[in-house]
Amino acid sequence: MVFGKPKPPLLGPLEVLAFSGIWPASVAAGLIATCGLVLVDSPSLGRLATAMALGTAGTLVVYTIDRLRDLHRDRTTAPARSAFVERHREALIALSVASAGACLPLAAMLPSTTWWACGVALGLGLFHRRLKKGAHRAFAVFYVTLAWLAVVLGIPAATFAGELQSPLGVAIVASALGPSIAANLIASDLRGHSLDKSTRRRLRTGTWIALAGCLGPLAASGFRPLIAIPLAVCASLAGFRPSEYYGLLGLDGALLLGALAAIALLAQGGGG
């Protein structure tokens, strides 16, 4: 009797995290939580949790639709993910429909200002796939960074619009998150590339961009915990591997790890 090669026990869960959209949705939730906690003094945890759930559901919708619609194109750049999407197409469609259905009641639980932020984020997110067809790389990074900021900063800022400690705080948070997300996108675009001179040069560029995300928080003591996010991104670029799993789990995981570290520092009163 011939037995097939045994599947590593963690590969199944890793596939689900990396390829289903759950991982980037978790990143969105972590960054929304960070923004809410740093922008507002003692925010309502119920409203913050609802904003996190809304951002999670919306991110799942956008990423799932994106992967289903671009399955043919993605076969060359993300073969393992494409195979997963093909095998679990019906489940991913169901996940997208359920997430979309959850967005309406979640949005209804939040102030109307949040609806506008959601509309902008959804429009930017669904339109970004067109950038894959010949758009200039730098513009694509800028555009997708803007889409992410609309979700992870726009939703909590709109949710707590009347309670923000300072309007300037939104700009400081954007100055930390924008470069961090942009650097992540630069590195993500190198998935599957050989570690040649050009790749290393782009990684260095991404590292400098991420480090620029430390400047705003350094200048404002209450926002210093946010430095954890660009530093985590820098670490992920320093350890960059061109593999598909590292590109989808490691790079995005750095954003989530940085967000969790920032939350821990905020909880300890580390902004002083």
Question: How high is the pLDDT of residue 10?
Answer: 53
Question: How high is the pLDDT of residue 4?
Answer: 44
18, 243 Cβ separation under 8 angstroms: no
Query: Per-domain residue ranges for the chain?
Result: 14-267
Question: How high is the pLDDT of residue 117?
Answer: 84
pTM to 2 decimals? 0.89
Question: How high is the pLDDT of residue 212?
Answer: 97
Signed CA dihedral, 11, 12, 15, 17: sign only: negative
38, 76 Cβ separation under 8 angstroms: no
Instruction: Tell me which residue of 163, 125, 204, 134 sits closest to 48, measured CA to CA.
Output: 163
Question: How high is the pLDDT of residue 120?
Answer: 81
51, 82 Cβ separation under 8 angstroms: no
- Gyration radius of the chain over CA positions: 19
Question: How high is the pLDDT of residue 74?
Answer: 66
Question: How high is the pLDDT of residue 175?
Answer: 96
Report residues of the chain scoring pLDDT below 50: 1-6, 9, 272
Contacts of 265 by beta carbon, 8 Å cutoff, 6+ apart:
224, 225, 228, 271
- Distance from C-alpha of 251 to C-alpha of 255, rounded to nearest angstrom: 7
Question: How high is the pLDDT of residue 126?
Answer: 67
Question: How high is the pLDDT of residue 271?
Answer: 53
Question: How high is the pLDDT of residue 11?
Answer: 57
